[in-house]
Amino acid sequence: MMTQQIDENLTEREIRLKMVVDIAHELRTPLGGIVGMNELLLSSQLDPEQKQFSETIHDSAKSMLQLLNDFVELAKLDAEKVVIRSAPTHLQTLLDECSYALRKLLKSHNIELNIVFSEGLPDTIGTDENCLRQTIISIVTGATKYVESGTIRIDIAPAAHNAKKSGISFKITLPPNTVNRNGQPLFTVIASENSPVLRFDSTWLRLSIAQHLLNLLQATVSIQDNTMEFVIQSN
């Protein structure tokens, strides 16, 4: 009976995943056309007002494409279709890639990203590079909506993963004035399992992705006000 119930649940998840992927595919096609044609328009001779309108179309379409990708990623994670593949990962390179991927979004919100490497860190760790990169980007991207300006800081330091194995700590700290719509610290609300505050919000979506990825990485997570720290094993 238990086996049958589990199999049925997995089948339902796979069905949901297929539906999300199919819908995303149908929406990506016209959105891709909008982006492509608008890029041609941007390359033509436009007056300042027309260029501003065209850039708004471009940014909006790109945002919708990103949301679609996020929905598909969350569906894959929910259906347990993401597999961790540990490999040597260069920390400096990975954080540089995160910074580069986030630069335009942070600039548009007047936010600086300060990445601090502690002494004693190894150059390379054994982990799933793509999973760790996406985790960091998802957390910062999700939180950005509630940061009006200031500095988001990421501290990377050696840490104890458990009693027997060493790890690497990633501590993400938002500006002190970061609040959600209820006036509470953002990460504090996210830590509440039953909180509906961010549900179906783009912030909830991206932080849900991060939560799934952290589970796959077997990370230990601690949250205090506007600071989230997660520790992963350093192989």
What's the sign of the alpha-carbon dihedral 229, 126, 94, 39? negative
Burial label for 178, CB within 10 Å (0-12, 13-18, 19+), is buried
Task: Sheet containing 150-160: give its strands across.
Answer: 111-117, 150-160, 166-173, 227-233, 220-224
Q: What is the pTM of this model?
A: 0.77
* Triad 140, 142, 145: Cα angle to 5°: 100
**May I ask the CATH class of domain 2-78?**
mainly alpha
Cα(126)–Cα(85) distance, integer angstroms:
10
Region class of 228: left (phi > 0), else alpha (psi between -120 and 50), else beta: beta
Q: What CATH number should be reported for the domain whose range is 87-233?
A: 3.30.565.10
Domain residue limits, the chain: 2-78, 87-233
- For the chain, 235 residues long, give each residue's pLDDT as a single digit of tens: 344 444 555 567 677 777 777 777 788 888 888 888 888 888 888 888 888 888 888 878 877 777 777 777 777 777 677 778 889 999 999 999 999 999 988 998 899 999 999 988 999 999 999 889 999 999 999 888 888 889 999 999 998 766 567 889 999 999 887 777 666 667 765 555 545 444 556 777 888 888 888 888 889 888 888 899 999 987 7
d(CA 9, CA 4): 9
